[in-house]
Amino acid sequence: MTRRAAVILAAGQGTRMKSPTPKVLHKVAGRTLLDRAIDAAQALGCDRIVVVVGAHSPQVGAHVEKRLGPGSTAIQDPPLGTGHAVLAAKDALAGFEGEVVITAGDTPLMDAAAIAPVFGLEADVAVLGFEAADPFGYGRLVIRDGKLLAIVEEKEATEAQKAITACNSGVIAADAKTLFELLAQVQPNNAKGEYYLTDVIGLANQAGKTVAAVFSPEEATMGVNSQGQLAEAEAIWQRSARVRLMENGVSMTAPETVFLSADTMIEAGVTIEPNVVFGPGVTIETGAVIRAFSHLEGCVVRKGAIIGPYARLRPGADIGEDAHIGNFVEVKKVKVGKGAKANHLSYLGDGTVGAGANIGAGTIFCNYDGFDKYETHVGAGAFIGSDTALVAPVTVGDGAMTGSGSVITRDVPADALSLERGQQVDKPGWAARFRAMKLSKRKDK
């Protein structure tokens, strides 16, 4: 197989985002636009990936090098157009022999499946196009007898060319040697005075090379240049992801209210009620039920478990088979055993809950002393009474019980009952005398 490389253009200013965060570091489904472009390049089998960044956004360069390592960025300074941006990557691709695909860092719906057809064309230069419902602002593909003759930008297009609905997605593929030879000939002879990448199409035709276009759905080519477009891309991705899950056997009673992340893994046979949010890093096994208004991130929910309503699972939560995590229960970095239950108003942070244990309402794992975190371990079959505070580090043995309202600071032996609270004192008639006194004072006023 011919080697492949990718040049991802990510040097734009992104001023229309009106955000201190660089445009390509905004997220769709919890993953940055730029990471999505890198994901697509890797899925295409590109063994060299160069991201062209602007001098104005050191954050972008740092993000790329953290993921891809040194030598993975090229700086375009000053910004003189898309052709100039690709030329900036030439040194980083020195010695590379194979095909180069050029993509954009701000097209989050452009995955490997959408790009792959450009590699299947028998042409020296291949372009990915789309049929636009409204072509205004896009470069037009001038095609005759199946041959791509030119890409004409909106500002340079004639009235006849503006009527063309076949548009440029920004994805171009060519042999590395051919690409850079053509780019060296590009001149800034246009309304913007920039070096247009799209000019390589006309130059390739003049050189007698074959140029062809292949088309993808318009939705896949959507670029993000504003917060509104970011939200639109998110909505498109979410709709598609929900459909895929339902087609694979996941039940959703109100799918439009469920929000997923790029890496959400949900098996067939799971039921998801309305208004559930899945942050990054969630896996749900078959038979589980995620009830309404729950929020999950960085967690695993095992077979048959029931979560919510109004539950929160934070990173490190591992909920065992047939376990129940109920309303207003928060779990963080706790492994909950098979069949265990925490049904009401509790915080479980750092530790373990054994199989079949019952955590009473109002239980708190007191895991933090202001400096360090400590663990709480509740044994199998243990029963934690309502309103118990377990002050870590502490272990409650298998089958043990704690009395309601207790503050447990020492380990509890297996099968023991641990109580820690003041003795109840009853004062007969005190309440009646108190009410009479209060009423008497009101009458005096």
- Active-site residue list: 344
CB 131 within 8 A of CB 218: yes
Q: How does 249-260 read in b/e, with b if 16+ C-beta sit within 10 Å? A: ebebeebebbbb
H helix or E strand, kind and range, residue 239 = helix 227-247
Phi then psi for 211, rounded to 5 degrees? -130, 130
Angle, helices 58-68/33-43, rounded to nearest 10 degrees: 30
- Other CB atoms within a 10 A radius of the CB of residue 57 amount to 21
Q: What whole-number distance in Å separates Cα of residue 425 and Cα of residue 119?
A: 83
For the chain, give percent helix, strand, coil, nearest 5. Answer: 25, 30, 45
Q: Is 81 in contact with 197 (CB distance < 8 Å)? A: yes
Q: What would the two tokens of residue 431 be?
A: 């309440």
- Of 123, 48, 54, 86, give the one whose Cα is nearest residue 199: 86
